[in-house]
Amino acid sequence: MSLEYMVLAATAFVTSTISAIIGMGGGMLLLAVMFSFLSHGEAIPIHASVQLASNGTRVLGYWPHVDWRTGGRFCLGMLPGAVVGAGLLFWLGEVTESEPYLKMVVGVYVLGSVFVPKPTNGARPGTWWDFPLIGFVAGSAALTVGAIGPLIAPLFVRRDFVKERLVATKAVCQMMTHLAKLPAFLLLGRLEVGRLGELGVLMIVMVIPGTLLGTRVMKYVSESLFRRLYLAALFLAGTKVLLVDGIWGAVSARAVG
């Protein structure tokens, strides 16, 4: 086994454990490591396959806590969003120069969810269009951005989901998004099945025990600690998307151009 495979397999295990404990962060970290070894075109489809297994295992581990109504509302917008995203990717061919600027917007949005105080009367009950809207945006962006966890995470923290319900329901939303990406990648010719068979299957095998380990550790994490960890993960994810993927990506693109 090559060093590349060993590093990516170990990263898949560790990041799936992180996501099973705090509900986010693992997918973005995994994608960052994958970009160190793989091209964008290789990493995104394999990442979708691995995250589908990771989120699917997480759903099974937290099955009694899944809020299926919220998951259904998210999918109501995500499915047409995925169609729009696939059409844009087919039309554009590759990731456009505007992507860093879109990521700046996502980064500001995520950071805003951390620092903007919630209403003093507690969590808002939400509206009928909040999760369908974020589902549409996530579905449209998922084919190029890859890790959509930070994009949808703020809605859950603003609704005061308890830890198991948050992790379980967010996993359903992400699982359905990754599931919708795979046929799109196949139709667009972006999913290299041979490469997936060698590396992707190894990483998929590693995320299953990683997720199961995380679900066991979660039992020892208090609600208050969970919320602090979740907000910390949101802050780190928002900062990374804004500064590294957004601003630094735009500067690098200008330098190359």
> What tokens were used for 5?
């495979």
Give the residue among 53, 79, 74, 55 at the shortest CA–CA distance from 206.
53
How high is the pLDDT of residue 73?
94
Q: How far apart are CA 129 and CA 77, in angstroms?
A: 9
Percent pLDDT > 90 in the chain is 34
Give the residue among 195, 201, 110 at the shortest CA–CA distance from 157.
110
**How is 3-52 classified by DSSP, letter by letter?**
HHHHHHHHHHHHHHHHHHHHSSSHHHHHHHHHTTTS-HHHHHHHHHHHHH
Number of domains the chain is built from = 1
How high is the pLDDT of residue 147?
62
Q: What is the extent of the structural domain holding 173?
A: 3-256
Q: How far apart are CA 88 and CA 109, in angstroms?
A: 23
Cβ pair 82, 180 in contact under 8 A? yes
pLDDT band at 94 (very low <50, low <70, confident <90, very high): low
Buried b (16+ CB within 10 A) or exposed e, 26-60: bbbbbbbbbeebbeeebbbbbbbbbbbbbbbbbbe
pLDDT band at 43 (very low <50, low <70, confident <90, very high): confident
**What average pLDDT score do residues 105-109 get?**
77
Q: How far apart are CA 168 and CA 162, in angstroms?
A: 10
pLDDT at 6 over 80: yes
Give the residue among 45, 47, 5, 7 at the shortest CA–CA distance from 27.
47
138-197 pLDDT, tens digit per residue, is 888 777 665 677 778 888 877 778 899 999 999 999 999 888 877 777 776 666 555 556
Sort 6 into a burial class: Cβ within 10 Å, 0-12 / 13-18 / 19+.
exposed
DSSP 94: S
Strands, DSSP E only, in 63-162?
none
